[in-house]
Amino acid sequence: MMLIDKIMNPSKYGTTEKEGDEILLAFCAACPDPVKARWLIVECLDPMTDEEIVDRALAMPFRNMDDVSLSELPVGHRLRTLAP
């Protein structure tokens, strides 16, 4: 769960904004639905522990990036090329 803690508390680890973005993208790309995993971390207002975030992100059904609308994820977003 340290990965999520690094994303949520970058100053605690001395993580730069760029490093934090890379960690976030890597985590999301490894999830079955990278877009919704990113939403869980960046936009979800439900209070969750790091473990709950990981569990929810990994429990999502698989979604191919080709099926993600441009309104959800712009065409040039790196997640489109990182995720399977």
pLDDT at 51: 93
pLDDT in tens, 46-58: 899 999 999 999 9
User: CA separation (Å) from 63 to 16, 34, 55?
Assistant: 30, 8, 17
pLDDT band for position 60 (50/70/90)?
A: very high
Do 29 and 83 form a contact (C-beta atoms < 8 A)? yes
CA–CA gap between residue 48 and residue 40 (Å, rounded): 9
Domain hosting residue 38, numbered range:
2-82
What angle in degrees, to the nearest 10, is found between the helix axes of 34-42 and 50-59? 160
pLDDT > 70? residue 3: yes
pLDDT in tens, 9-20: 888 999 898 999
CA–CA gap between residue 82 and residue 71 (Å, rounded): 18
The number of domains in the chain is 1
**pTM for the complete prediction?**
0.86
